[in-house]
Structure 1
C-alpha cells in the first residue's frame, strides 16, 4: 500500500451509479473521469498532470508546468510517448484516463485536409485520487484522510436517494436534413464509391443540463457494455457505451466488439421478439453486420500473431437500452513488438461508427455530417500502469460545453438503405438518452 492509499473500508454499495454521480456532482475533486467496466467502477479525479493533443500542438502538464510543442506522425504514437514522458517526470508508472475524438482517425486514414490546427484530437489525465467500487466494497487511493472520509460520506448518502426528474427532449425534428444526406450517401454507395458509411445527426438541447444527474437516471434505464461520466478539458459528457472499440489486457489479448444492425427494444415482450426476428432475417442488417465483422477481423489480424484472430458469438443479439443489435466479438493475441496503442490505431474509429472501407467511409462522414463529431463516435480511454488499455465507443451519450448541450446519433448506410428507416433508427438510438435528460 502506498503512503497516500487509505485502508479499505468495506461497504456494500447497492447503487454504484448513484455513488459515482454523487462524487461528480459534489464538485470537490477537480476534473474527473468515471468509467464503468463489468468488474467494477472507478472515479478518477484531480489531475496531477495531463496531455492535450490537437491537430497543431501537443501540450503536456505536470505539477502545474505545461510544455507545448508541434508534433508529427501518428497521434497514437505521440500519446504513447507523452505518457512515457509523464511517467519519467512522476518517477513511476501511473494509470491514465481520458477521451479521444473521432477526428483522431484522420491521420491513419490520410484525410487530414478536413482538420484545422485547433481541432481537438485527445485529452488524457493522470489522477491524484481514484475511488473504486466493486464486489469488495469501496477503495480510495491518493486522497487525504479528510477527503477519504468525505468520499465515504458522499457515497453513503447517495444510496437510496430518489432518482432525479427528467426533462425529455423531442428528437424527431430533422433540422439537419438527415434524410436528404442519407439519400446522397446511398447514391455514392450505389455508384461504387464505398460500401457503407455511418452518418449522424446532432440534436441541440434548449437548456443547460445536469450531466451527473442525467448519467444516474440514464444508467438506471440502460444496459451498456461500459458507461462513463466525465468533465475534462472544458467538456462534460455521460454515456452508455454499447461496445468496445479496443481492449488489450495484461495477457496481450486484443478484443473488439462490432455491433451493426439495429431494431427498437423495450416496447414489450411481443414487440421486442418481433423486432428481434425481423433483425435476424433482414438482409440489409445482416450484410451490414457481416462486412463490419470482416473489417474488424482484418484489422486485428494486422497487429496480431498469425493464427490467433478469431470470431465468437457471431450475430448474437444484445440489448442496449432502447435498441437491440446484432453483435460479434473478434479477438487475437498482440504480436511481438506491437503495443496497445498500435492496436487502438488500427481499430479506431470503430468500423460500426465510420464506414467501409474506412478511409472512404470517414471521408464521406467529413463531407456529409457537416460539423466536427468531437467525442461522438470517438472513445473514452483507460490505460493501466502496466500498459493495458481499454477504449469504449462513445455513442448513446450527452455532451455539454460552455456553448450548450446536445445529443447525437447515427445509422449505418448501405446500398439498400431507405432514408426514412435510417432516420427512424437514429430516433430509436436517441431514445437511450433523450427521455432521461435532467435540466441543470
Structure 2
C-alpha cells in the first residue's frame, strides 16, 4: 500500500476491479474491510428456506421456522472452516415480529469471502484462499491511480410530500388513540436514472461523518450508505453495545445556523422525549440477554453530527449472560428501536399498514459476524439501493405525540440530503 493513499479510494478501486462479482466494503472506526468473492454463502428467504454453500460444493437447502437469527446461527454452525468472517445484510422484515407475513422476499444474504483486505493504521493486510487473486489484489493496492469517479447529479428530495403528510397525520391519530407510543414512518424516493453505486459511495462518504459506512454487491443487488448508528456490536468478551439515535435537526448550514438548530435539538420537548423512550427501550432489550447489573448508559443525549443532520445520541451496553450469544443480542435489538418504534411489535404492524410495501434493506442492517462470536451490525439509513437499472433512496422520521406532518416531512428531506446530492449516474 502506497503511503498517503486514501483507504476509501482503495476500497473503490477493489470494487471497480472486476475481480469480484460479489463484494462487501465495511468501514468501522479505524478499520476498512473489503470482502470479495464467495467462499461460503448463506441466504435466508421469507418463504421459509435457507440455502448454504461452502467452497465449490453444491448448495444445500432446508426449511426453517422460529427465529430467523437461529436459522442463520445453525447455517453458520455447518461452516467447515475453522476460522471465518462473514459479511452481508439483513432486511427490516428479518424482525421476529414480522415473520407472520412469510413473503418470498429475501431476508438475509451473507458471504464468507474468498479474499479479504483489511486496512488499519495505513497498513493493508490481504488474506485469500487464491494465491493468484491475492497477488492481483496486492498489485491494486500499490497502484497509485485513483478510482474512476463520475460526476454527481443531485436528486430532488421534496416530491411525495402530500402522501407522506397524510401518513404522519394517521400515525399521530393512532398514537393519540393509545395504539403505540412511537412509530417511524418512511417514504421511498425513486431515482430517475441508473446509478454508479461505487462513485456514489466515494462522493457521499467524502461529505459524511458516519458511525459506519458500507458498499455492497451481492447477487446483483447493490447498496451503499453512511450509517448513523450501530444496532449491535458484540466483541469477543461478550460485551454488547447499541447506540440509539433519536431527535433530529439539520446540520451543515453554517456555524451560526448549526448552533441554533443544536440548541433547538437539545431543548425541544418532543425530541428529548423521543430520545429518552428510545434509550429506555434499548436498556429493557439488553436486560433480556445481559447480566442485569452490567447494563449501563453512557454519553446520554450527546449530539452526534452525521452529514446533513445532527441527532441526540446515547450508548447502551452490557455483558452477555451465560449461554447467550451475539445472535441473541441481535434478536432482541433488531430492528433498531429508532427505525421501528415503541412498542416494537405494534410499531412494526403499523409500519406495514401505513407504508403498504416491504422496506427490504432500508432500516435493516449491514453486518459482519465472526467464528468467535464477534458481531458488528450497522443500521441501514442514509443509503442508496439499486437493483438492475432501478435505484431509490428512502428516509423516515420518528412520530410521537406532538409530531406535525410538515416538520416530519422536513426531517425526511434533511436526512435524504445526506446522500441525494452525491448520486452519480451510470454511464
TM-score, length of structure 2 as denominator length: 0.96
> What secondary structure does 1:47 align onto?
coil
Once residues 124 and 78 of structure 1 are traced to their aligned partners in structure 2, the CA distance between those partners, rounded to angstroms, is 13
Match of 1:237 in 2: 223
Determine if contact 1:22/1:212 at 8 Å carries over to the other structure.
Answer: no
Once residues 297 and 307 of structure 1 are traced to their aligned partners in structure 2, the CA distance between those partners, rounded to angstroms, is 11
Match of 1:54 in 2: 45
Q: Aligned match of 2:31 in 22, 33, 40?
A: 40
Offset at residue 73 of structure 1 (A): 1.1
Match of 2:393 in 1: 407
Match of 2:411 in 1: 425
Once residues 406 and 145 of structure 2 are traced to their aligned partners in structure 1, the CA distance between those partners, rounded to angstroms, is 43
Offset at residue 171 of structure 1 (A): 1.1
Offset at residue 276 of structure 1 (A): 0.2
Is 2:387 the partner of 1:396?
A: no
> What secondary structure does 1:427 align onto?
helix
Kindly report which structure 2 residues correspond to 1:201-240, keeping only aligned pairs within 5 A, or say none.
201-240=187-226
- RMSD of aligned alpha carbons: 1.5
Is 2:99 the partner of 1:99?
A: no
Match of 1:324 in 2: 310
Kindly report which structure 2 residues correspond to 1:135-154, keeping only aligned pairs within 5 A, or say none.
135-142=121-128, 144-154=130-140
Distance 1:123 1:216, change over 3 A: same
Offset at residue 386 of structure 1 (A): 1.2
**Count of paired positions:** 424
Match of 2:71 in 1: 78
Match of 1:299 in 2: 285
Kindly report which structure 2 residues correspond to 1:3-402, keeping only aligned pairs within 5 A, or say none.
11-56=2-47, 57-62=49-54, 63-86=56-79, 90-105=80-95, 107=96, 109=97, 111-116=98-103, 118-142=104-128, 144-157=130-143, 164-174=150-160, 177-402=163-388
* Cα deviation code 1:348-378 (max 9, x no counterpart): 0000000000001111111111111000000
Determine if contact 2:2/2:144 at 8 Å carries over to the other structure.
Answer: no
Offset at residue 402 of structure 1 (A): 2.2
Determine if contact 2:246/2:313 at 8 Å carries over to the other structure.
Answer: yes
* Cα deviation code 1:297-320 (max 9, x no counterpart): 000111001200000000000100
Offset at residue 68 of structure 1 (A): 1.2
Distance 1:13 1:77, change over 3 A: farther
Please list every run of 5 or more consecutive structure 1 residues that lacks an aligned counterpart in the other structure.
1-9
Once residues 203 and 63 of structure 2 are traced to their aligned partners in structure 1, the CA distance between those partners, rounded to angstroms, is 42
Distance 1:167 1:64, change over 3 A: farther
Determine if contact 2:195/2:389 at 8 Å carries over to the other structure.
Answer: no
Determine if contact 2:115/2:134 at 8 Å carries over to the other structure.
Answer: no
Once residues 177 and 313 of structure 1 are traced to their aligned partners in structure 2, the CA distance between those partners, rounded to angstroms, is 37
Once residues 402 and 42 of structure 2 are traced to their aligned partners in structure 1, the CA distance between those partners, rounded to angstroms, is 43
| Off by >6 Å, runs of 4+ in structure 1 | none
Once residues 115 and 197 of structure 1 are traced to their aligned partners in structure 2, the CA distance between those partners, rounded to angstroms, is 22
Offset at residue 169 of structure 1 (A): 0.5
Offset at residue 273 of structure 1 (A): 0.4
